[in-house]
Chains A and B, each alone.
Chain A
Amino acid sequence: MARIIVVTSGKGGVGKTTSSAAIGLGLALKGHKVVLIDFDIGLRNLDLIMGCERRVVYDFVNVINGEATLNQALIKDKRVSSLSILPASQTRDKDALNKENVGKVLEELGKSYDFIVCDSPAGIEAGAMMALYYADEAIVTTNPEVSSVRDSDRILGMLASRSRRAELGLEPIKEHLLLTRYSPKRVAEGEMLSVEDVKDILSIPLLGVIPESQAVLKASNAGEPVILDTMSDAGKAYQDVIERLLGETVEFRFLQVEKKGILSRLFGG
């Protein structure tokens, strides 16, 4: 049975698509069969971050409407053959998706993939609900900032009440906290909520901390998910996330300000 993982947040612009791309590719690099689904109907950005935007012919809504088969719509990643992408449509009606037709697509995909990673749209309305409804696990992507943390808590409420697992009284969705755009320096200066602060407030297990990193913009410019930039801090932090998702215990990195020499600490700079 495929593990259905939704990357969700409530708030927009926190790093869901960046994280979906990195995690999808990372799992595939480990030899798993992965399909990445863009649930952000109307906006469609995952294809761009994955670097396959020019290969989009059919999309999720085409499949839902029976205008294309899944195989026609799925784009095989050029770097890792075990990874496919199901793009969102750019202009179509957001209401095309419903529980029934999405359920059918996921069931079909579940037959041939180990992981189904769902990139959620922002918000706490229908679109976000569709993306999380069938999830087994949720990666709650959060920035260390008040409105993002509050929205993440609202999403936790939805996971616990509006998901399929909640409605059927099954074992609850497994929740993971992914803290992104973290700046240890600003935390040290008391300007940014710390990992511990956010953990205290949301009280769900920590899956990873991704530092604020210039590598992310470079990666999106190139259409190469940042996990491929193996020398970068963000790339390494996403690697650790993959290990943890696969059950390994990995120490958290990039939580502290990089140490300066004792002299510069005493005399400024």
Chain B
Amino acid sequence: MALLDYFLRKKEKQVTTASKAKERLQIIVAHERHSRNKQPDYLPELTEDILNVLRKYIKVSDESFSINLDKKDGNLNVLELNIELHDEHSTN
């Protein structure tokens, strides 16, 4: 019955194929945009230099260190360093 169908269909709204499509697109587009925003050329060298300075004072393995340059809205760029410190801080 059409009237019944009408209400049943309303309930199903959340799981339509269109909403699935939107969700998938949002993920893939965000991912592709991220990888498109190429990192600047100086980043590898900067990473190397920062690591060398840090290693004068503390033990840092390659795995416990990450560096990221993110473009935020507008003209704002954020350089993000992540360093995991382990128990023995000092190298000497």
Q: Which residues of A contact B (CB under 8 A)?
A: 145-146, 149-150, 153-154, 157, 161, 187, 189-194, 197, 200-202, 265-269
Write out the residue numbers on chain A whose beta carbons fall within 8 Å of the beta carbon of B8. none
Please give me the residue from chain A that is nearest to B22 by CB atom.
A197
Contact, CB under 8 Å: A191 / B3 = no
Contact, CB under 8 Å: A146 / B18 = no
Given known A-B contacts A154-B32, A190-B13, A266-B2, A201 and B19 have beta carbons under 8 A apart: no
B21 adjacent to chain A (CB < 8 Å): yes
Specify the main secondary structure of chain B where it touches its partner.
helix
B17 adjacent to chain A (CB < 8 Å): yes
CB distance from A35 to the nearest CB of B (A): 32
CB distance from B3 to the nearest CB of A (A): 5
> B14-40 toward A: CB 8 Å interface, digit per residue (1/0)?
001111011011101100110010000
Contact, CB under 8 Å: A267 / B2 = yes
Number of A-B contacts (CB under 8 A): 57
Contact, CB under 8 Å: B13 / A153 = no
Contact, CB under 8 Å: A146 / B36 = no
Write out the residue numbers on chain A whose beta carbons fall within 8 Å of the beta carbon of B13. 190
CB distance from B67 to the nearest CB of A (A): 23
Q: Nearest 10 CB-CB pairs, A to B?
A: A190-B16, A268-B2, A197-B22, A157-B36, A153-B29, A190-B18, A201-B25, A146-B21, A193-B18, A266-B3
Q: Which residues of B contact A (CB under 8 A)?
A: 1-3, 5-6, 9, 12-13, 16-19, 21-22, 24-26, 28-29, 32-33, 36
Given known A-B contacts A146-B25, A150-B25, A187 and B18 have beta carbons under 8 A apart: yes
Contact, CB under 8 Å: B2 / A192 = no
Contact, CB under 8 Å: A193 / B21 = yes
Q: Complex formed: what's the CA distance from A191 to B1 in Å?
A: 21
Write out the residue numbers on chain B whose beta carbons fall within 8 Å of the beta carbon of A192. 18
23 contacts between A and B (CB under 8 A): A146-B25, A150-B29, A150-B32, A190-B16, A190-B18, A190-B19, A191-B16, A191-B18, A192-B18, A193-B21, A193-B25, A194-B18, A197-B18, A200-B22, A201-B22, A201-B29, A202-B29, A265-B6, A266-B3, A266-B6, A267-B3, A268-B1, A268-B2
